[in-house]
């Protein structure tokens, strides 16, 4: 019985460490400053037979990246490591072999972390043992994770994977890709995203140029919520208004929930406005105004081509800010105030570390009927088929 209890405690310890340190990423670097368009492309598992092709693509676009290499692969392809370094890329440790931490004895994990000299260590699969952080600190290394996973190890369509990266990439993002000849998707993804990242306004840099700092517990909760955020976007067909670093508006099609307003009745087809909680806290008032105007101009072109859409709206405490963009404000029902107000308070604390302002309602409706919205924002331009194509 004692042995069973000991095994259960050991299992709980390992699971707890993995939840806190891998899933949440507390104490690791997972992104840089959200106020700068700098991002970092990182490649795990190399060097490999794909390294030359990756370097060629990076060279073509003038991009420096970070390679988390395996000692076993370096011993197999030493000339490729030399080439990575010669071309100005950063090299960091991914361990001796690609084995998760829970399959290593502590002394093996210590050697794993120290396998490659450098500033950072990325555990294989990101998996931690209860000792990973202590051993990394003893080796003088900072654990580096990511906030955008390319999923290039899957068999999904590479164009769809590339689009997903562009949708979820943000200022300061650390993007996880692979330098592994078992994953052919990587090269196809790079062909899609490398020409677009700079065109959109991102500045790819090495990880040591990203100004990344360890995540706090609150930021760990932010990282842990990313999967739910993405599932919400898919379920509700949310589309961003532009894919640039500071494009912070998104919309989703739905029936207007009411209460009915002049020019926009409950149940009519409409678009709900969403504000990016990650981007907006790092933006200045002038940036918010400029990028908001750009987003609503793009949205007006889309609305004009969809005569069934009768208006645009949003419900939250932040919806008060829609007034500067010509939206009307109106009170909401008790149920809406309870649901949206609770969500607003949670996001306000999670992404800004602030509590709701007593001077503002917990939730308010901001809305603009179709004709008013088009009259204010429509400019003569071809309506996009997809809001995320620009």
203 with 209: CB under 8 angstroms? no
Active site residue 125: no
Question: How far apart (Å, rounded) are the C-alpha atoms in residues 250 and 130?
Answer: 39
Going from the C-alpha of 376 to that of each of 225, 271, 300, 327, 381, the distances in angstroms are 36, 17, 9, 10, 15
- Given the residues 50, 89, 94, 178, the one annotated as active site: 178
Q: Within 13 Å and on the Cβ side, how many CA atoms surround 261?
A: 24
Phi, psi (5° rounding) for residue 254?
-170, 170
Coil/strand/helix, residue 69: strand
| Measured distance CA(339)–CA(177) in Å, rounded | 38
Q: What is the sign, positive or negative, of the torsion defined by CA atoms of 333, 335, 341, 344?
A: negative
* Whole-number Å distance between alpha carbons of 94 and 315: 45
Nearest Cα residue to 136 out of 90, 179, 95, 99: 95
Cis amide bond preceding 341, omega within 30: no
Give 297's DSSP letter. Answer: H
Report which of 299, 302, 277 is spatially closest to residue 354, judged by C-alpha positions: 277
Cα 19 to chain centroid distance, Å, stands at 19
Nearest alpha-carbon partner for 153 in 181, 128, 191: 181
Sign of CA dihedral 235, 240, 245, 248: negative
To the query of whether residue 274 is one of the catalytic residues in this protein, the response is no
CB 313 within 8 A of CB 329: no
Which has the closest alpha carbon to 124: 149, 102, 105?
102
> In 90-225, where do the E strands start and end?
90-93, 120-121, 142-143, 148-149, 174-178, 203-205
Q: List, by residue number, the catalytic residues.
A: 44, 178
């Amino acid at each position: 019985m004692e042995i069973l209890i000991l095994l259960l405690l050991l299992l709980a310890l390992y699971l707890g460490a993995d939840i806190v340190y891998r899933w949440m990423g507390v104490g690791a670097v997972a992104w840089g400053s959200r106020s700068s368009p700098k991002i970092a492309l990182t490649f795990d598992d190399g060097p490999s037979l794909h390294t030359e092709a990756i370097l060629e693509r990076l060279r073509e676009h003038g991009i420096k990246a970070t390679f988390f290499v395996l000692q076993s692969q370096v011993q197999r392809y030493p000339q490729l490591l030399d080439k990575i370094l010669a071309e100005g890329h950063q090299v960091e440790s991914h361990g001796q072999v690609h084995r998760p931490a829970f399959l290593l004895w502590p002394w093996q994990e210590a050697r794993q972390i120290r396998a490659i000299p450098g500033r950072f260590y990325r555990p294989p699969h990101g998996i931690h043992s209860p000792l990973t952080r202590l051993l990394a600190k003893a080796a003088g290394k900072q654990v580096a994770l990511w906030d955008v996973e390319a999923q290039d190890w899957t068999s999904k369509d590479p164009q769809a994977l590339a689009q997903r990266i562009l949708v979820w990439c943000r200022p300061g993002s650390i993007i996880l890709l692979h330098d592994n000849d078992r994953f052919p998707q990587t090269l196809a993804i790079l062909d899609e995203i490398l020409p677009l990242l700079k065109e959109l306004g991102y500045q790819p840099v090495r990880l040591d140029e990203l100004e990344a700092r360890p995540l706090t517990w609150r930021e760990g909760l932010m990282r842990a919520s990313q999967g739910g955020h993405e599932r919400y976007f898919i379920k509700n067909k949310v589309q961003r208004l532009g894919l640039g670093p500071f494009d912070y508006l998104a919309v989703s099609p739905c029936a207007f929930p009411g209460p009915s307003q002049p020019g926009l009745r409950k149940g009519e087809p409409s678009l709900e406005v969403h504000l990016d909680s990650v981007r907006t806290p790092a933006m200045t008032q002038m940036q918010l105004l400029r990028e908001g105007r750009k987003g609503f101009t793009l949205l007006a072109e889309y609305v004009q081509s969809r005569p069934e859409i009768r208006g645009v709206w949003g419900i939250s405490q932040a919806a008060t800010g829609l007034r500067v963009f010509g939206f009307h404000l109106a009170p909401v029902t008790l149920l809406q105030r309870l649901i949206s107000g609770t969500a607003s308070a949670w996001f306000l604390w999670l992404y800004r570390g602030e509590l709701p302002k007593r001077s503002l309602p917990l939730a308010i409706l901001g809305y603009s009927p179709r004709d008013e919205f088009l009259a204010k924002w429509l400019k003569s331009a071809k309506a996009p088929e997809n809001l995320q194509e620009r």
